[in-house]
Amino acid sequence: MNVDLANAWTRPGNPFTCENIDNQIIPGVQQLLAACRRNNHPVVHVTTCYQVADREDPHTDMGLWHCKIPVEAVPENRPELWAIDSRIEPIDGEQLLVKKRASAFHGTYLAGFLRAAGVDTILVTGVTASACVRETICDGLAEGFRTIAVEECIGDRIPGAVAWNLFDIDAKFGDVEKVERCVSYLDEVGSKVAAA
């Protein structure tokens, strides 16, 4: 599951741009996607955008989140911002889930989709470690999934935030694993399913 690896977070000059995108996160996610695709594992790409991005409009779908962060930076009418980065964009058969809150589970169909697909373990990549990735991992565990944070594939805008959040996630909410080990796991599980 790739959380918020959309242009507003991955391309330079945007309000949410995170560090280590080009040299670490995108290459790691590309490796994971290749393993998922060759083994027919479900892939979910998650992004965030809002239909009513006016903070003063009482009908905004931003809730009160706009009081803390500049969520008007990803309005629905600017798909070039909330579109998944073209280097890791979805292919046919992969889910594109639009969320309104930090967690990819909150108010979405994600848990039901994963259960119907027979998923019991989720590999989580994306940004930011201190918000959407962390909330998704916490809610994934609460929904009964084994959660794995893929170490090299998680970023943030704030120096030090990734290291601290991965430490805390590993202590309480999931496992933190290297991308290489996750790729091996995806291939191993895929070969067992193919043999069955």
Cα–Cα separations (whole angstroms), residue 65 to 2, 19, 157: 21, 23, 18
Given a contact cutoff of 8 angstroms between Cβ atoms, the answer to whether 89 and 26 are in contact is no
Active site residue 49: no
Residue 130 and residue 123: Cα distance in Å, rounded? 17
Q: Which two tokens stand for residue 120?
A: 């019991």
**CA-CA distance, 149 to 170, in Å (whole number)?**
8
Distance (Å, whole) CA 36 – CA 190: 8
Q: Which of 18, 132, 153, 182 is catalytic?
A: 132
Q: Answer yes or no: are the C-beta atoms of 153 and 32 closer than 8 Å.
A: yes
Token pair listed for 137: 């991992």
Q: Could you give the residue numbers annotated as active site?
A: 132
